[in-house]
Amino acid sequence: MSEQKLLHLRRLTAGGLITNYYCTSRCRHCLYACSPGWEKRYIDPETAERNFRKIRELGCASVHIGGGEPLLNPEGLRGVLAAARKVGVGIEYVETNSSWFIGQEKAVGLLTDLKKMGLTTLLISISPFHNEHIPFRKVKGVIAACRAAGMQAFPWINEFYREIDSFEDEKTHRLEEYVAKFGADYLNRLPGRYWIHLGGRAIKTFQQVFPARSLEAVCAGSPGGCRELLDTRHFHLDLFGNYIPGLCAGLAIKGEDLGKPLDAAAYPLLTTLFNTGIWGLLDYAVSHHGFHPADAYISKCHLCLEIRSYLVAEKQVQSPELQPLAFYENLGV
């Protein structure tokens, strides 16, 4: 048997800090399964500072701030901005879904205050997924507040503006309304217009529109180890001090273990994925936990998520690699 290679994340390229998973929305495409079902917990300044120091140590000079919804706790966000300034990590933008907007005067005041703390740009989510939970009037209000506060608004993505604005902006609108208005293939076309990673809740949503392949074909199509675990081009560290490898939400590496080879005994699941890929994880789940795979999946990531969800929800596997547990509890669409 060949010697196992150890997963070693030497350098961080570009990414962000997750301040909270709690969110007013339960978007059908959310990679991190954010929702109102999460505990209303926000990153503390000490954890933010530790994360920023690790980010800086591994070569990344600036990050974005995301959630959940970072602006649900303005005081917590101020602490994050202060920690970033202390460590010397730049903040590229803060992501927001605009759910916090209640009026122009308060919004302008908050953004003016955050601008004084070094925040220059707000990424404002614009999509049919968000419009299921947030009236477009709020989004328009935040864009206008940015303009008034002298803060740059980064609409993501502006391509959806006109079609969302074609509905009444005081109300939320279900995705099914978009399908009825813009065509039966509306959902099918969304991934071509909007960057969506097929992980987390997006797998559940797009399972109905993407063709499934046989279990054998999915596994045969990925014969080696999962090298995506090494990808640090869109990394995240979260409020629990966990690093999310690749874009594999629900998998975790302790932040302090970054920058050195991971101990295979401490990270058996990640070591298995890194060395033998989905084949190895499937074999482990079947032989050790009685997992019964379905006949077909849309991708190896779909299969991986099903295995991990089974281990957590059905077998109550307690593993620091399968974190946070609430991710698995909030996957439902």
Q: Which two tokens stand for residue 204?
A: 């559940």
- Angle at CA 37, nearest 5°, toward 121 and 81? 25
**Residue of 128, 127, 71, 59 lying closest to 95 (CA atoms):** 71
Neighbours of 18 (CB within 10 A): 24
* Residues 319, 242 contacting (CB under 8 angstroms): no
Please compute the mean of the pLDDT values over residues 106-121 and round it to a whole number: 98
- Angle at CA 230, nearest 5°, toward 228 and 231? 70
- Per-residue pLDDT tens over the stretch 6-42: 999 999 999 999 999 999 999 999 999 999 999 999 9
Q: Count Cβ atoms within 10 A of the Cβ of residue 216 and give its class: 0-12 exposed, 13-18 middle, 19 or more buried.
A: exposed
Q: How confident is the model at residue 2 (pLDDT cuts 50, 70, 90)?
A: low
- Per-residue pLDDT tens over the stretch 211-240: 999 999 999 999 999 999 999 999 999 999
CATH of domain 15-202+230-262: 3.20.20.70
* Residues 281, 31 contacting (CB under 8 angstroms): no
- Per-residue pLDDT tens over the stretch 116-163: 999 999 999 999 999 999 999 999 999 999 999 999 999 999 999 999
Q: How far is CA 209 from the centre of its chain?
A: 21
Neighbours of 271 (CB within 10 A): 22
pTM score of the predicted model: 0.96
Q: What is the pLDDT of residue 1?
A: 45
Q: How confident is the model at residue 333 (pLDDT cuts 50, 70, 90)?
A: confident
Quote the CA–CA distance of 296 and 213 in Å, as a whole number: 5
* Residues 168, 174 contacting (CB under 8 angstroms): no
* Residues 114, 71 contacting (CB under 8 angstroms): no
Quote the CA–CA distance of 143 and 33 in Å, as a whole number: 26
